[in-house]
Structure 1
Amino acid sequence: MDISALSEDNFSAAEWINANYKKYIEENAGLAGSAAEPDPAATSLAFIQSYVSKLQLYVQQVNYAVEESSQQVVASMPRIAKEAATLQTDVEQLQKRMSAMRQEVAAVQDETGDCMATLERLNAMQTKLQAAKESLQESDGWGNLLAELEDCFERNDLKGACEKLAQLQKSLQAQEQLPGHAERLTQVEDFKNRLEALASPSVVQCFAESHLEQAQRYVQIFTSIQRLPQLQQYYRAVQKNTLQQQWKQTLELQAAETQQQQQHFLTLYYDQLLEHCQRQLKWCTQLFNDDPAEGQAQPFRVIAELLPALQPTRDAHILQLLKTSNERLELLAQFAQANDSFVLHLNAFLAQSNIKLPADLMSQLGDAIYEYFYKFIQQYPRLEETQLSTQVDRLLANQSTPSEAVRHLEESTRKLYEWLQQACVRCSDITNDLALCKLVTLLNGIFKRQLESFSKSQRQLSLSVGSSSETARSENWSLLQYTMSQLQCLADFQLQLHKFEEMLHTRMSTLSERLQQSANGSAISIYRTYDRAAQQQLLASIADYQQKRAEATATATNVDTLGIFPQVYSSLKTHFTETHDITLNILLQPIEVHLAHIRPPVDAQAHPSAAMDLPAFSFAPQECITQIGQYLLTLPQHLEPLLLSPSALLKQALELCNIKYIQSIPCADVLLSLVVEQCCVLYQAQILQIKSLPASAATQLAVDIEYLSNVLEELGLNINLQLSHILILLKAAPDQYLILSSGCEPRLVTAIRQMRNIISTQ
């Protein structure tokens, strides 16, 4: 039996009993062998009796052990109490001794405090006296050093002068406590200037010849006199002079070349600068080895100081080339590409060489490369507008006939957007999209010119609508084709405009990200050199366009404006409506001609000689009405070839003109229904112009309206509600007029009653 399990933290009585019971059964089963199966109740009883006996035995043993331990503790208590009392007495004695020791230490401190202060004061005085002694000694030797230094200058002994000047500097430091230090400091600076002037011709020659050993000696000399920055200035001045001469040579050589080759002068010079920088980097690293970082920076400082000081300036030479060039934008793009290529290679060289220039030098480099070009970036929108205006004006030349005008619209739209894409490419190449928002502003004027071309074509179509003659009808069918073509051109223009806006938004988002990232970037870029105020203004303009897009997307369909050219979309919508109206006018023109033959009857008493235009009663409709019916019946065969399977662009244009085209029925049927609807309106208006209507004439009008209704039923259409009311009112007997007019429009009831001279019984 495992008694140790009773002291475990996770002891479980049930598990412990079950485990021991299982063990007990296994042991008894092994002893029994092949005997009969034992009774479980008897086995359990035997297990309980056995384990209870063992537990009682263990309890007795525990009780015995506890009693023995208690007796031992009781026996040892007097001894423990005695030892505790002794320990307390020892502690009290120790506390008394420590108190006495603290008093002794305080007394010693009081006695020695004054002595220590005196010692410290004496030590300070000794230090001052020693410094004064050294200063006096140096002062005694100051005059000798000055004489020796003057002698070295008279003999042009650069090395000796440098050594004496170093000693003079040490002597000056030692005499800092003596009066006249400022005068001596001025003397030392004068000697440094004389030494620098003495060494400068040799220094310039050494740097010009790139003689490393001599240059290293001069580095030591200038370092010893604390004039190393001045030596670096000499180095940069020599290098700038050399590169300035190369610049003039490059311009002179290019001046003798063809105009096409002259345009590469900037690229050639940038290549020379890069090669020079790569050669000088290794040389400067060896030369200024005490400060490798500053040594690596020297060739780049040369570039940063050289480019703004070039004579003639880069912008002045570019302006001369622009004056003699007819391709100014292409020329500017080439120079901008030269700038970007130079910066790209410069950044790659820095990264490859693992060179980290100071932030101020990186900014200075960016300004030196790009600052001159900002005047051309400001001029770019004006140049772009001039070129686009010239192209568009040449494209939108006068067209003599409507057919030529309409056919020209498709080509002009295609070319216009090709030119706009090219303009955006130029904007990116020349300005890195910094002038993108200004380009968007001037494009509104370009679109306005194209829309004027649409207006002119519409006016030509409207003025070309013919009469009811056969020749004019044939021309009208041709005009109908032209209006459909113009609608398709308008839809194509709007679709291209929508894609163009999406492209502009993408470019604006990219530009915004680049401007925001440039503040944290480490590489040279044009965005880091961009004026902060102008940058904030540009970001605000982009944010405004993005806000307009969000508002337009939330309220408009996918073919509506994206917020960049809302006025263009508004004008396009007007053009869609007007062109569709011209289409309806073309189709309604013969109907209007026939309806004009329905004249109000002349008052017989006022004009006895005049005859009524309306014939006497007959069961046949009037000729003008039958002609209208025949015309309407022939409309489907003219419309279906145009609109049976309209292109996606034409379908989109028609849907923008009238919401009915969105229905899932053929566009020809929709247009026919619109013609019929307008025909009914015109017929109704013509009828309401009649002042007096005899009974026979009223019957004739009713027959005409019924005929028109039958014709429309054959077309699958119906006359409008007002015309139906007029038919009811014309057919109503005078004595039944009030009853039959119930439910009809009151205005029509009154007008027809007055025509028919029916006396109101109300």
Structure 2
Amino acid sequence: MDLKTFGEDDFDPKKWINKAWSASGNQEKEVFLANTVSRLQLYMKQLTNSLDETTTQVVSSIPRVLQEASSLHREGAVLQQQLDSLQQMARGVEQQTGHSIQSLHRIDYLKTRLENAASALREADKWAALAMGLEEVLEAGVPTDAEKLAQLAEQVAAMTASLEVLSDAPDYENKRMQLETLYNRLEAAITPPLIDALTQMDTAHTPRYVRILAGMGRGRAAVGCWARAGAGRVITAWRRLDAPATATLVTLLAPDAATQLDWLTNVLKCDTPLAELLRLYTDVMLSLDPSPTKVVSANLKLCSNPEEGILMLTDLRCDIDGLINCVRAVVDAPRQNKETIPSGVIRDFGRAAYAPLRESLPTYTELQTQLLLAQLNDPQLKQEDLLECSRAILSVAERTEGWISNAYNRAKKIAGIASYPYYISAVDSLITSISNLISMHSRRIETAFLSSISEGGSGGVLSASFPASLTLEAAASALLDVITARQELEARDEEPKDQHPLLDLPTFLLDNDVRQRLPTLRAEPWGSGAALRRAKEQLRGLGRAILRNPVDVQLDKIPQLPVWNNNDALSTDLPDFALSPQEYITEIGQYLMTLPQHLEMHISEKQAPWQFLSEVCTHTCELYAEKILNIRNMDALGTKRCLTDIVYLSSVVEDLGSNVTPALKNLEKSLRAATPSPNE
């Protein structure tokens, strides 16, 4: 039996008895209770005996525990007395030795100051000797012997180290100023021989001069001398040329790039040799006299024709690419601890390299414009015959795509995608010129048409003005198709992404605002297309007006015809079948019926001849209904005649495959409703 249950705080006798009874099975209650009471009494007796034994043991052990506690108390008191005595002894020792330690610290401090003073005195004596020795060297002149140069380098390094030791001296600032003056004089003295050594690529003396400058903490001055020597060699060679050219510049700069890089790394101990090499080339190209830009500009002026000028610019781009490829070969060559060149250095070099091309791009626009406009110097475009002149313009429009494509390919060879603002200006000039040519010829056609009308002639499909206007409209459409196709093609032509920084032509060749607008400029419709679309719409209207003119002439007669009123009574009683279409409407019908075969002679399938025929039929019906409404005092016979004419026109229109307009149908219904039947 688990006795811990009886010790719990929430022990409930009833629950315990019920739980025990449920676990007894089918045992009788009296027997279960008797057994349970007996077991509980037995457990109580066992617990009582165990408690008595434990109590007896505790009582018997208390005296011994008290004796041990008393002994521990006495031992603690003795230990406390010992600790107090040790503490007093430590305080005494500390008081006795404190003064001695302070004395030792002071003695060590004095010793250090004495040693520093002695060292400063020795360094001051050494400084004076070194300064005097350097002064003598400067007065006697910088030696040229290799061993003496090495001694001078050691002397300079010693003076720099000596000045650092004297940093706490009272006259340190005076000594620093004195040393700075000596170093300035020494740098001025060794700069000319160092430049000469660098110019002659003297490997014996150059390292020693560099070591002297490094000892003075002026290593950058050695790089500056190297740049002056390198630039001087190239500038001198450029001036000696009989005919300076960009191709020659490549031969002057490219061959020794690897050698110069090796000198920067191993002789001058430069940490950024690639950046310094690019800075040198940048300064050289900006210092040449005459500058490459002036050379290119002068050569362009000597070109006998635009074609020669375009070829010269293409060659210029090839020359610049040669220089860029040479520099890329050096910059991209694998090496340990490869240097990261600042973007500003790359940008400055690229702008200097591409400067001749950048300044020549406006000239390219002029040359390309002249080349394109020269295509319009065709005698065929000046013919007096309207149709032949229109055909000549159509031929020009159809050939425009080839001219523009050729111009675009040339522009890309010259300046890549950066040429677009200059290329599109030349193309706009061509499109504008052709558009003006179309507009001028359109006015000629319109003038000829109006003159024919005023002189009693007529327009129509058989007039000379109609095929001329159609052909000219086809020319405008063809040119618009060329513009649309070229713009879509050029918009898809993108420069490769993630290309080398030295190939970023928009950055090198375009101003910031133009470069930022370049994507928008390429996506915008060509400005010259708007005028061309207006010219096309005007030609479309002119062609339709000429084609409809015979119809308009006949329909204009309708309101003034005398057959609509003042008819006698006998004539009014005539049956409808006795009436025939009048002459004006038969003229219109005959003209409409002959249109299909005549239109096929002048209109291609692309221009949709049946659309022309449908437009003429629709126009005829609309204008006919309008003219009928302008008739005044129409009598019964006039109404019958009008209905006969309407029926005739409707049959002609339907035979041609077109439909009668709702306006004419409604007018016919109204006239029939107003006409009395024969039985009335």
Shift of 1:143: 3.8
Identity %: 21
Q: Does 1:448 align with 2:426?
A: no
Q: For 1:272-671, list aligned pairs within 5 A.
A: 272-288=252-268, 291=269, 293-294=271-272, 299-325=277-303, 326-327=305-306, 328-352=309-333, 354=335, 356=339, 358-359=341-342, 360-371=344-355, 373-377=357-361, 381=365, 384=368, 388=372, 397-434=381-418, 436-437=420-421, 439-440=423-424, 443-444=427-428, 446-465=430-449, 476=462, 480-507=466-493, 510=494, 523=502, 525-527=504-506, 529=508, 534-535=511-512, 538-540=515-517, 542-543=519-520, 563-565=524-526, 570-598=530-558, 600-601=560-561, 619-640=579-600, 646-647=605-606, 650=607, 668=610, 670-671=611-612
Shift of 1:333: 3.8
* Separation (CA, whole Å) in 2 of partners of 1:362 and 1:496: 40
Q: For 1:110-125, list aligned pairs within 5 A.
A: 122-125=107-110
Distance 1:483 1:308, change over 3 A: same
* Separation (CA, whole Å) in 2 of partners of 1:311 and 1:727: 91
Shift of 1:121: 5.4
Q: For 1:94-105, list aligned pairs within 5 A.
A: none
* Separation (CA, whole Å) in 2 of partners of 1:629 and 1:570: 39
The equivalent position to 1:174 in structure 2, one of 159, 162, 165, is: 165
Report if aligned partners of 2:460, 2:546 keep a CA contact under 8 Å in 1. no
Shift of 1:361: 3.9
Shift of 1:243: 0.8
Q: Does 1:206 align with 2:191?
A: no
Identify the residue that residue 679 of structure 1 maps to in structure 2: 620
- Provide, for residues 279-302 of structure 1, a one-character-per-residue CA deviation record: whole Å limited to 9, x for no partner: 3333444423xx364456554443
* Separation (CA, whole Å) in 2 of partners of 1:483 and 1:108: 130
Report if aligned partners of 2:282, 2:349 keep a CA contact under 8 Å in 1. yes
The equivalent position to 1:134 in structure 2, one of 116, 119, 131, is: 119
Q: Give the letter aligned to residue 643 of structure 2.
A: A
Q: Give the letter aligned to residue 709 of structure 1.
A: S
- Structure 2 spans left out of the alignment, 5+ residues: 1-53, 58-67
Report if aligned partners of 2:213, 2:219 keep a CA contact under 8 Å in 1. yes
2:217 counterpart SS class: coil
Shift of 1:248: 1.5
Report if aligned partners of 1:403, 1:482 keep a CA contact under 8 Å in 2. yes
Shift of 1:381: 4.8
* Separation (CA, whole Å) in 1 of partners of 2:593 and 2:285: 81
* Separation (CA, whole Å) in 1 of partners of 2:263 and 2:431: 58
More relative contact order, 1 or 2 (CA 8 Å, 6+ apart): 2
Q: Give the letter aligned to residue 345 of structure 1.
A: C
* Separation (CA, whole Å) in 1 of partners of 2:492 and 2:614: 43
- Provide, for residues 501-548 of structure 1, a one-character-per-residue CA deviation record: whole Å limited to 9, x for no partner: 2234335xx46x86xx68xx66574455578xx4366325635875xx
Report if aligned partners of 2:223, 2:270 keep a CA contact under 8 Å in 1. no
Q: For 1:678-757, list aligned pairs within 5 A.
A: 678-732=619-673
Report if aligned partners of 2:238, 2:249 keep a CA contact under 8 Å in 1. yes
1:311 counterpart SS class: coil
Report if aligned partners of 2:461, 2:595 keep a CA contact under 8 Å in 1. no
Q: Give the letter aligned to residue 354 of structure 2.
A: Y
Report if aligned partners of 1:204, 1:235 keep a CA contact under 8 Å in 2. yes
Q: Give the letter aligned to residue 117 of structure 2.
A: A
Q: For 1:25-104, list aligned pairs within 5 A.
A: none
Report if aligned partners of 1:314, 1:372 keep a CA contact under 8 Å in 2. yes
Distance 1:308 1:477, change over 3 A: same
Q: Give the letter aligned to residue 321 of structure 2.
A: D
Distance 1:104 1:448, change over 3 A: farther
Distance 1:468 1:638, change over 3 A: farther
Distance 1:589 1:616, change over 3 A: farther
Q: Give the letter aligned to residue 211 of structure 1.
A: D
Q: For 1:237-248, list aligned pairs within 5 A.
A: 237-248=228-239
Report if aligned partners of 1:381, 1:435 keep a CA contact under 8 Å in 2. no
Distance 1:414 1:170, change over 3 A: same
Distance 1:352 1:720, change over 3 A: same
* Separation (CA, whole Å) in 1 of partners of 2:93 and 2:260: 69
2:418 counterpart SS class: coil
Identify the residue that residue 23 of structure 2 maps to in structure 1: none
Distance 1:274 1:704, change over 3 A: same
* Separation (CA, whole Å) in 2 of partners of 1:430 and 1:572: 29
Report if aligned partners of 1:138, 1:171 keep a CA contact under 8 Å in 2. yes
Distance 1:131 1:372, change over 3 A: farther
The equivalent position to 1:270 in structure 2, one of 247, 250, 254, is: 250
Distance 1:128 1:398, change over 3 A: farther
* Separation (CA, whole Å) in 2 of partners of 1:216 and 1:168: 20
Identify the residue that residue 177 of structure 2 maps to in structure 1: 186
Shift of 1:244: 0.8
Distance 1:185 1:734, change over 3 A: closer
1:690 counterpart SS class: coil
* Separation (CA, whole Å) in 1 of partners of 2:90 and 2:443: 117
Shift of 1:599: 5.3
Report if aligned partners of 1:377, 1:435 keep a CA contact under 8 Å in 2. yes
Distance 1:564 1:121, change over 3 A: farther
- Structure 1 spans left out of the alignment, 5+ residues: 1-74, 79-85, 255-264, 547-562, 652-666, 741-762
Identify the residue that residue 42 of structure 2 maps to in structure 1: none
* Separation (CA, whole Å) in 2 of partners of 1:125 and 1:237: 54
Distance 1:304 1:472, change over 3 A: same
Identify the residue that residue 12 of structure 2 maps to in structure 1: none
* Separation (CA, whole Å) in 2 of partners of 1:196 and 1:384: 55
* Separation (CA, whole Å) in 2 of partners of 1:321 and 1:568: 32
* Separation (CA, whole Å) in 1 of partners of 2:631 and 2:246: 85
Shift of 1:679: 1.3
Q: Give the letter aligned to residue 613 of structure 2.
A: L
Shift of 1:130: 1.6
Q: Give the letter aligned to residue 410 of structure 1.
A: L
Report if aligned partners of 1:467, 1:589 keep a CA contact under 8 Å in 2. no
* Separation (CA, whole Å) in 2 of partners of 1:232 and 1:635: 88
- Provide, for residues 235-282 of structure 1, a one-character-per-residue CA deviation record: whole Å limited to 9, x for no partner: 3222221111111223x145xxxxxxxxxx201221221002233333
Identify the residue that residue 221 of structure 1 maps to in structure 2: 212
* Separation (CA, whole Å) in 1 of partners of 2:354 and 2:99: 73
Report if aligned partners of 1:281, 1:296 keep a CA contact under 8 Å in 2. yes
* Separation (CA, whole Å) in 2 of partners of 1:204 and 1:544: 50
Once the two structures are overlaid, the 10-residue window that deviates more, 215-224 or 308-317, is: 215-224
* Separation (CA, whole Å) in 1 of partners of 2:531 and 2:597: 33
* Separation (CA, whole Å) in 1 of partners of 2:637 and 2:432: 58
Equivalent residues, number? 593
Q: Give the letter aligned to residue 719 of structure 1.
A: V
Report if aligned partners of 1:677, 1:719 keep a CA contact under 8 Å in 2. yes
Distance 1:397 1:408, change over 3 A: closer
Shift of 1:446: 4.4
